[in-house]
Homo-oligomer: A and B are copies of this chain.
Amino acid sequence: MRKSKKLRVGLFGFGRTGAMVTQEMINAPDSELVWVVRKSNRHAGEYASRLQGYEFDEGMIHWVEDIDQAFFVRYPVDVIIDFSASETVNLYKHAADLGIRFLSAISNYSRDDLAELKKMARKTAILYSPNISIGVNLLLLTSLVVRSVIPQADVAIMEEHFSQKPDISGTALRIAKKLKVKPEECVKSIRVGGIVGKHEVLFGLPNQTLRLTHESINRGAFGRGALAGATWLMECERGFYTMEQLLAVRFRDALSELR
């Protein structure tokens, strides 16, 4: 019998982002990190919480090669969050039958693996968002509603990142696509110093401007976003959801209070 009402989370991925996500999850009061699966077998059997300096046990580390179907039955969770890699979906695709929900933050899915993820949505609720931070998705969604009110406004999207980041920000491209503006004309990329990540959507009218600006302080935002998404996902019917769809529900609720 489950003793606590906390959201039980299983996590795939313990790399640079995964580790920060782990930390946020261990800190979060309303959830419990049941296990973490990592690519290497280093520290397998130990607790992620101990590795990060905490004095209690949370998030037992498992080696990915040890995962089979029985694993998901033996170590039950409410939701599985995936920050690892495209092919991982094949490890847990059959777990959809167990009533577990899934949240994937993989940014570079192969066509086949993404198809598998979508297939799982026939059986359970799936949230897929390559950028799971709440702030970035709020930026996207507010930009969308603003554009619907002032379609005549000119749009520019500026993104600033650390100098080594090679490509145009995927988030900026996604916003451009959603706003139906041409990235090659509207997106301006700045690469300087150690900027963690900043995105600005600028709407220009003849007499005024409106700027929506999201700035990342550190990668912990992914962990918080994943937990919020997972919480919202618990209330969803089976189906394939995006972060902005889940936010849109909250937007509509807020707007209906205005009536």
- The residues of A with any CB-CB pair to B shorter than 8 Å are 133-135, 138-139, 142, 144-150, 153-156, 158, 160, 163, 188-196, 202-221, 224, 244-245, 247-248, 250-256, 258-259
A160 to B186, CA, bound (A): 12
Contact among B154, B163, B253, B255 with A154 in the assembled complex (CB-CB below 8 Å): B163
Task: Tell me the smallest distance from the CB of A154 to a CB of chain B, in Å.
Answer: 4
Q: From residue A169, how far is it (CB to closest CB) to chain B in Å?
A: 14
Can you list 9 residue pairs at the A/B interface with Cβ under 8 Å? A138-B150, A142-B145, A158-B188, A160-B202, A193-B217, A207-B217, A209-B215, A210-B212, A255-B255
Partner of A188, one of B188, B217, B258: B188
Of the candidates A135, A208, A209, A250, the one having the most CB atoms from chain B within 10 angstroms of its own CB is A208
Q: Is the CB of B206 within 8 A of A217?
A: yes
Chain B residues near A254: list those with CB within 8 A.
144-145, 147-149
Complexed CA–CA distance, A195 and B251 (Å): 26
